[in-house]
Amino acid sequence: MLCSCVAKLRGRLWAAVAFGIALCAVSSGAEPRPARDVLSPEQWRRLDAAVDHGLEYLSTQQRPDGSFQAPDQGQPGITSLCVLAFLSRGHVPAQGPYGDQLSRAIEYVLDTGQENGLLFDLPVAEVWRKGTPTHAAIYNHGIAGLMLGEVYGMTDEPARTRIAAAITSAIEFTRQTQLRPKRNRLDQGAWRYLGRLSGGLRSDADLSVTVWQLMFLRSARNAEFRVPAEYIDEAMEYVRGAYRPSQHDFTYCRIPPGNRTSRAMTGSGILSLSLAGEHQSEMARSAGAWILRNGFERYGEVYYYDERYLYSVYYCSPAMFQLGGEYWSRFFPPLQRVLLEHQQDDGSWPRELPKDGQFGNCYSTALVVLSLTPPYQLLPIYQR
């Protein structure tokens, strides 16, 4: 059943993703080492078993309304991450053992859409406050938009019609928030939280929010939705500006005091470059070397006090896969070992502590599954 789903998935998506894959195929010359070669047959067996067990866990956590377990402020983003985790293993809506669950989850995400295109159904205040819907809404929007873009080519005609309307409106919302006036020209082209910023925030943009919107736009463009090149080009100018040549990393914000780094931001910077066809640039390679020097050998260990371990793993894994070669072969086997050692008996991974523990085990498990599945090459946004 899985093999037939995988074959059908590839066939139905090829036309939509061919342009994006072509952009990502730019290289510096030599053919990269095949992704499968970095793991032994036994390591592949363990990987398959761990991913399947993680998905079995997620399948037990779906609510009657189609969502996966998460607090309201984590929806529909966490449900979308769970859907992406299933897609990354070759499962598709309306087919196979999880087909009905995926269809219901997609319907739930669509039901959260607002008239203005925002994919988030909690009220958003006019003034930003940390820990409120004004903080979480834009993250949920980007993640949900990414999922809808990825799943668009896998659904039947009625579902595609509804998804198409949601993506079109969501693109417009993303563009309008991209064009919001910025206090500093360095923030042009990028995104931050909804609502009028207050509380001493000096930046009107950050890389964490920006990358989710960029991935959504890239996915929608791959699926042949109208996303003018300037939307992505303007965002990429911000991403490149977040790179620090002296440190070989990417920063959270371009303006102090937010101009600090983390592995999540450096990984997301590399991934963004790859989506723009620059995955073998000097900037990407030097940032990849920085990640190798600051790896993930100790589960849960953070680079600095405000970093999220699994959030960092989530970005760095597809980023290093895009770089390929020695970057991938040195990065992934140790990461796989650490992650598999900490999978719990029920198939889940521990909550993300000390940060983001409130989002629960569906969030952490989906992040880990997505970090383990780049070598399967089934999720279009991460294909090399």
Tokens of 304: 């600095």
Sequence-distant (≥ 6) Cβ neighbours of residue 312 within 8 angstroms: 262, 263, 264, 267, 296, 302, 303
CA dist 196 and 238 (Å) reads 21
What is the DSSP track for 266-309? HHHHHHHHHHTT-TTSHHHHHHHHHHHHT---STT--SSTT--H
> Is 109 within 8 Å of 141 (Cβ atoms)?
no
pLDDT of residue 36: 66
From the list 267, 277, 283, 364, the residue with the least C-alpha distance to 321 is 267
> Is 318 within 8 Å of 374 (Cβ atoms)?
yes
pLDDT of residue 333: 97
Find residue 196's DSSP bridge partners.
127
Alpha helices in the chain (DSSP H): 2-24, 41-59, 77-87, 99-111, 133-151, 157-178, 207-222, 229-241, 263-275, 282-293, 309-323, 325-341, 360-372
Per-residue pLDDT of the chain (384 residues; tens, 9 = 90+): 333 343 344 334 333 333 233 333 323 333 445 566 899 999 999 999 999 999 999 999 999 999 999 999 999 999 999 999 999 999 999 999 999 999 999 999 999 999 999 999 999 999 998 889 999 999 999 999 999 999 999 999 999 999 999 999 999 999 999 999 999 999 999 999 998 887 678 999 999 999 999 999 999 999 999 999 999 999 999 999 999 999 999 999 999 988 999 999 999 999 999 999 997 899 999 999 999 999 999 999 988 878 999 999 999 999 999 999 999 999 999 999 999 999 999 999 999 988 899 999 999 999 999 999 999 999 999 888
pLDDT of residue 245: 97
CA dist 288 and 169 (Å) reads 35
pTM over 0.85: yes
Q: What is the CA radius of gyration of the chain?
A: 19
> Is 127 within 8 Å of 115 (Cβ atoms)?
no
Alpha helices in 207-262 (DSSP H): 207-222, 229-241
3-state secondary structure of 150: helix
